[in-house]
Structure 1
Amino acid sequence: MSAELDLAARVVELTRRLAGPGAEAEVVAAHSAEALTRFANSAIHQNVADATTTVRLRLHLDGRTAGGSTTVTDAAGLQSLVERTIAASRLSPPDQAWPGLTPPTPLRESPAFDEATAAAGPHERAARVRDFVRAADGLETAGFCRTTYSSGGFANTAGQAVEGRAAEAAMDGIARLAGADGVARRASSRLTDLDGTALGTRAAAKARAGGRPIELSPGRYEVVLEPTAVADILDNLATFGFNGKAFAQHQSFAELGAQQFDQAVTIRDEPLGATLPFDQEGTPRGTLTLVQQGTTTAVSHDRTSAAEAGATSTGHAGAASRSWGPIASNLALAPGRDAITPVTGEGPTAASARALVSGMRRGLLITDFWYTRVLDQKSLVITGLTRNGVWLVEDGEVTAAVGNMRFTQSYPQALGPGAVLGVGTEIETLPDRWTGVRYTAPALHLQSWNLTGNASG
C-alpha cells in the first residue's frame, strides 16, 4: 500500500468514527512534485521545484454535502480536516443531486511508469535547454523544461480503494529574430523523448522564415493548422463541448449519435500514462472515444453529470467538476490513414504539416493560437489570435510571412462534414502551457477559417 492510499484509508476510518455509520465519505490523497527549469535571453535564469501532499475529503451526511482539504497530514491535521468537514456539512443546503459513491471497481492497466523522469534533476533538464539554445545558432531563445511526478491513493466508505502514479516531461521554447518568433514544444511520459536539438532547430527555422511579414485582408482562408494550433481546438472542445455538465444542461453543441464532424475526425481521450489512473471520485480512467469518424459518440462525465444525463461516469471527476463540469484533459486527434509523400526541404513547416501544405492552392499555414476566448458556448464560437508564425501558401509553396491576425470561428463548424481537406499522418504530443495536461494531434488542412482582422486593430 502506498503512503497516499494509507493516508486516504486513515481519513475514511476517522470519518466513520466521528461522523457515524450513515456518513458517505470519499478521500483522495495526492502527492505532486514539479520541477521547472526556465531560460530567457538564451540562458537559464531559474530552477524551481515544489512538492506537496494534499488530502481532500468529500462528505455526504444527513442529505448534505461538504468538502475540505489539508496539506497537514499528521494525526492532528487529519482530525481537524474531518471535524471541519463535518461542521461544514451541517451548514450546507440539502444536496438533491448527490450521486452516491463509486463502488469497488478495479483499475485498467496503465503504461509502464518511467522512474528516470520522476527522479530527473536540474542537470537533465539543463542539458535539453543547452541543446535547444545551441541549435538556435545565435538567435535569442526563451522557454522552459519541466518534469512532474504524481502519486495518489483513493478510498471511500463504499469499499473502493485504488492507487497509482504518473510522470510527465515537457519542453516549450521560442527563438526570436528581429521581432519574429518561432516556437517548438513537446510532451512525453519520458524525459528521454525530449530532443532539445530538434526543438531548437524547428523554432529557429520558423523565426528566420517569419521576417518582413505582409498584411492580408480579413476574410475566409483555406488553412493548414500545425499541431500546436490543433491542440487549442482540442482544449476548447474538451472544456466546453464534450463537458458532461454542459451537455446535460443543453449548453453544448454535442449531439450523441449525430454526424457533427467530417469523417476524417476521430477524437479520443487517452488519460492512462498521462495522469493518475482514477479520478477524484475513485472511478477508473480509460480511453474514451468522443468522436468516431465524424459521429459524436460520448461526452465526459463525473458521477453527478452522469446521473443527470442518465449515463455512467467516464472517470472525469475533478476537484471542481460538480461546479464547472467534468473535462477530458488528454484529448488525441487520430492521424490520417493515407500515406502522403512528405515535402522535403528546410523552412517554417513542421514535418507533420508539409504534405498538407503541398496540396494547398492558396491559403495560410498557421503555427499557433493564443488568447482564445469563447463568444458563444452552444456553437463554440471562439475568438483569438494567431501566434508564433503565419505564412501565405500559394500553389503548395510558402511564399511570404504574414502578420498575426485575429480570428472568430466556430470550432465544430471548421471541422464539420466536408470541411476537413486533410489530416496529417504524423502526430505530436504537446503540453498544456500551465499544467500537466497534454494533447496529441496531427496537422489539419481545413477548407475555411474566418480571419476577422489584423492583430493590431
Structure 2
Amino acid sequence: MSEGTERDLAARVVELVRRVAGPAAQAEVLVTRSDLALTRFANSFIHQNVAETGTTVQLRLHVDGRTAAGGSSRVDPDGLAALVERTRAAARLAPPDPAWPGLTAPAPTPAGRPVDEATAFASPDERAARVRAFVDAVEGLEAAGYCRTSYRSGAFANSAGHSAVGRAAEAAMDGIARAGGADGVARHSADRLADLEGAVLGARAAAKARAATDPIELPPGRYEVVLEPAAVADLLQNLAWYGFNGKRYAERQSFAEPGVAQFDPAVTLVDDPLHASTLPFDLEGTARRALPLVEAGTTRAVAHDRRSGAEVGAGSTGHGMAGGSTFGPIPRNVRLLPADRAADVSVGAAAVGAGVTGAVGDPDTAALVAGVRRGLLVSDFWYTRVLDPKQLVVTGLTRNGVWLVEDGVPTRAVRDFRFTESYPRALGPGRVLGLGRSPVRQPDRSDGSWCEAPTVRLSSWNFTGGASG
C-alpha cells in the first residue's frame, strides 16, 4: 500500500456513507497501515522474532443526532461496505448525542518529520545486530529485552471535505543486565534504528547491575532524590493521563489550574509530537502541533479533542484518539525541557569516581548527584497506581537500582522501596533542585507514544515502605 492507496480508501468509505446514510450524515475516516517488528531476547540469546503488517479502517458516523464508531481490518469492497452498514446500524441504536462537536474543517496539515526508510523496513538481521552488541557489552551477565522497529502510514478524510496524509517510523531498545539478582536497565527510543547503540546500552545496563549488588535496607521516610530519565518518564506519563487531560479537567478531576504557578520555575513541559517522527494529525484529522503545558512553572494548557474543547469553549489541540470519549484526550509525546545550564559536570564525575562504580552512568546524573549531601539515586519506577486522581497521589515501587548518596558520592546499593507521593507536589515551587542538560527519549508500550526527560534532582520524595514491608 501507499499513501495514495490509503487516501483512496478513506475517500471511498466517505462516499459509501453518503450513499447509505444520506448527504446529511457526517463521517470521519482514518486508514492506517502499520508494519511492526520485534526482536526479543532472554538468557542472553534471541528467542523470538515477530512481525506483522496490517491495515485498519476506523469510521465515526454522526447521523440523525446520534453517533457511533466502528473499525475493520478488511479493506476489500465487501469489508468496507459491511463496516459502513454495521456502524450505521449502531448509530440507530445509540442515544442522542447533543454534544457532538462537528467535523474538522478543511485545513492544511504539517508534513511531519522525514521518515527514515531504513528504519521503516529494517530486517531482523539489523535488529539482531543491536541485540548482539548489547549482549556482548554485558560481558557475561544475563541479558534480556527487545529491539523493535515500526512504520505507520495514515490517511484521513471526512464528509466536510478535509483530508490529510502522513508517515512515521520509530526504533526502540529496552534491555536489562542481571548480576547476582540485581538488575540494571538501559532504554532508548529514536527516529532511526542507526541511532540505537546496543553496545552503549548494554555497557550502561551492566555497570548499573554490578553496582546494585549486595544492597542494604534503609528505613522509609522522606529523602532527597535524583531521578534518572526512566523514573522521570513515569511522572510525565501520569501527569499527562490525569492532569493535562481535557476531559478530566472539564470534569474537575484534574489538578491543572491554567495560569497558576503550580510547578517549580525550572519545570517547562511541552507535548511535542512533531519533535519526532509521528503522524502529523490526530484521529479527528486535526493537525498536531507543539502544546506548551507548563512554562517556567506556570500551568498553561491541557489537551483537548474536539468534544472536550467544545465543552470548555476552546478548540481541539490535536489530541483526538481512540478511546478519547472514555479516557479523554491525553498528551502522548511529553517533553520535560532540560536545564539551560547544568552544574559543573567535571566536579560531579570526579566525585562519583570515589563511590559505587557504575551507579552513575552519565555526566548529567553525576553533576546532580554531586550536590546531594544525603539522599537516594533512583533508576526507575514501576507498577505505579493512582490513589488520588485529583491531587495525583501515586504509589509504586522502585526498580533496577537505588543507591544511597552521601556527600555527593553513591556509597551503597539500597533495597527497593515503595513510595506514595503527589507528583505535582514533588515538582512544586522550590522542590526542583536541578535538571540535567541531556534528555533521553523513553519508549512507551504503545506505538507512537514516548516521553523525553533529563535526570531530575528533587528536594523530597516520600518512601512509605521498605523491602520488609
Query: Do these two structures clear the TM 0.5 threshold for a shared fold by scoring above it?
Result: yes
Partner of 1:318: 321
- Once residues 456 and 371 of structure 1 are traced to their aligned partners in structure 2, the CA distance between those partners, rounded to angstroms, is 18
| Structure 1: distance between partners of 2:261 and 2:314 | 20
Say if 2:333 is the partner of 1:330: yes
> How do 1:37-116 residues align onto structure 2 when only pairs under 5 Å count?
37-116=39-118
Which residue pairs with 1:387 in the alignment?
A: 399
Cα deviation, residue 434, structure 1: 4.7
Q: Give the Cα–Cα distance (whole angstroms) in 1 for the partners of residues 456 and 236 of structure 2.
A: 12
Structure 1 counterpart of 2:380, from 368, 373, 393: 368
Q: d(CA) in 2 for partners of 1:301 and 1:41? A: 44
State the AA in 2 paired with 1:377.
P
Q: Secondary structure at the match of 1:5?
A: helix
Which residue of the other structure, out of 151, 155, 158, is the alignment partner of 2:157?
155
Unpaired segments ≥5 residues, structure 1: none
Distance (whole Å) between structure 2 residues aligned to residue 455 and residue 83 of structure 1:
56
Cα deviation digits, residues 384-420 of structure 1 (max 9, x gap): 0000000000000000000000000000000000000
Find the partner of 2:218 among 216, 219, 222.
216
Identity %: 63
Matched, 1:186 2:181: no
2:197 to 195, 198, 206: 195
Amino acid at match of 1:404: D
> In the alignment, what sits opposite 2:431?
419
| Residue type of the alignment partner of 2:125 | H
Measured after TM superposition, the shift of residue 298 of structure 1 is 0.6
Regions of 4+ moved over 6 Å = none
Does structure 1 retain, via aligned residues, the 8 Å contact 2:113–2:277?
no
Secondary structure at 1:265 match in 2? coil
> Residues of 2 paired with 1:27 and 1:165: CA distance?
16
2:360 corresponds to 1:349: yes
Shift, 1:154, TM fit: 0.3
Q: Equivalent of 1:378, from 390, 400, 413?
A: 390
Contact 2:220 2:463 in 1 (8 A): yes
SS at the partner of 1:212? coil
- Residue 119 of structure 1 deviates from its aligned partner by 1.0
Task: Specify the SS of the correspondent of 2:343.
Answer: coil
- 1:107 deviation in Å? 1.0
Retained in 2: the 8 A contact 1:226–1:350? Answer: no
Relative distance call for 1:205 and 1:78 in structure 2 (3 A) is same
- Which amino acid in structure 1 is aligned with residue 248 of structure 2? A
The amino acid of 1:297's aligned partner reads R
- Counterpart residue number, 1:129: 131
RMSD: 1.0
Q: Which residue of 1 aligns with 2:295?
A: 292
State the SS of the aligned residue for 1:87: helix
User: 1: CA distance between counterparts of 2:4 and 2:312?
Assistant: 35
Distance 1:433 1:214 in 2: 32
Structure 2 gap ranges (5+): none
Inter-partner Cα distance in structure 2 for 1:6 and 1:358: 58
2:284 equivalent among 281, 284, 291: 281
Match of 1:177 in 2: 179
Give the Cα–Cα distance (whole angstroms) in 2 for the partners of residues 50 and 455 of structure 1. Answer: 41
**CA distance in structure 2 between the aligned counterparts of 1:162 and 1:426, rounded to whole angstroms:** 34
Matched residues in 2 for 1:69 and 1:29: separation? 10
Amino acid at match of 1:284: A
Q: Distance in 1 between matches of 2:188 and 2:55?
A: 27
Determine the C-alpha separation between the residues in 1 that align with 2:435 and 2:46. Answer: 37
Question: Offset at 1:105?
Answer: 1.2
Contact 2:419 2:464 in 1 (8 A): yes
Deviation at 1:456, TM superposition (A): 4.3
Question: What are the within-5 Å matches in structure 2 for residues 252-267 of structure 1?
Answer: 252-267=254-269
1:153: Cα distance to partner? 0.3
Contact kept in structure 2, 1:274 and 1:437, CA below 8 Å: no
Report the Cα offset of residue 5 of structure 1: 1.3
Match of 1:450 among 423, 441, 462: 462
Contact residue 342 and residue 367 of structure 2 kept, 8 A: no
Structure 2 distance, partners of 1:170, 1:456, is 35
Task: Give me the TM-score of the superposition, normalised by structure 2.
Answer: 0.96
1:432 CA displacement: 1.1
Counterpart-to-counterpart distance in 2, 1:449 and 1:391:
14
Once the 2 structures are TM-superposed, how far is the Cα of residue 104 of structure 1 from its aligned partner? Answer: 0.6
Q: How many pairs does the alignment contain?
A: 457
